[in-house]
């Protein structure tokens, strides 16, 4: 994000929107935003939160209006003032559509997140989508993609990748 190439092509830093961690408990606050919705907080960062933190990104959790669960928003600038309502709505709608298929137990649940909320992939009270997402197949695909990348990209270009990555601190 600090590269010349990024700055040349984009005038704003990205907002990355992901599902909340099923290993954490989130607490509703009184803070409300017209687009992002009600804010939640949690007291212990997940591994994903820590990963984005190493890149200088902060995280806030919001449950948008008419949603059933909060989303995690990772950002580097000011989430509430640096992005237009349209930019935030686009981010939310894209992620919610995806998460209803990918994590229907959380994002297509039949009940809304409570004041104290712990997401669960074991929740049985959710609506099935018409799109079938096979987690087992996806896990196998991830392993196959990883092996393909290792064989075709990492091993053949390992020296170049090591030289290039030596210039970056993570």
Q: The pTM is what?
A: 0.79
Encoded tokens for 30: 């009184």
Q: Is 144 helix (H, G, I), strand (E, B) or coil?
A: helix
- The answer to whether residues 20 and 86 belong to one domain is yes
Range of the domain at 154: 137-167
Q: How many domains does the chain have?
A: 2
User: For residue 85, what are the contacts with CB-CB under 8 A and spacing of at least 6?
Assistant: 34, 35
The reply to whether 97 and 144 lie within a common domain is no
Give pLDDT tens digits for 82-109.
Answer: 999 999 999 999 999 989 988 999 999 9
DSSP label of 130: S
On whether both 86 and 121 belong to a single domain, the answer is: yes
In terms of Cα–Cα distance, which of 31, 32, 2 is closest to 14? 2
Residue 14 CA to residue 149 CA, distance in Å, equals 26
């Amino acid at each position: 994000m600090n590269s010349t190439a990024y700055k040349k092509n984009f005038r704003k830093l990205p907002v990355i929107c992901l599902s909340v961690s099923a290993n954490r408990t989130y607490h509703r606050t009184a803070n409300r935003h017209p687009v992002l919705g009600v804010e939640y907080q949690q007291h212990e960062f997940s591994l994903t939160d820590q990963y984005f933190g190493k890149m200088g990104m902060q995280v806030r959790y919001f449950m948008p209006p008419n949603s059933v669960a909060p989303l995690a928003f990772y950002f580097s600038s000011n989430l509430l003032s640096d992005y237009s309502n349209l930019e935030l709505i686009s981010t939310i709608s894209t992620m919610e559509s995806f998460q209803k298929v990918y994590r229907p137990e959380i994002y297509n649940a039949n009940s809304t997140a409570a004041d104290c909320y712990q997401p669960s992939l074991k929740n049985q009270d959710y609506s099935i989508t018409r799109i079938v997402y096979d987690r087992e197949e996806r896990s196998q695909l991830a392993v196959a993609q990883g092996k393909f990348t290792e064989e075709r990209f990492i091993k053949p270009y390992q020296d170049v990748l090591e030289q290039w990555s030596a210039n970056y601190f993570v």
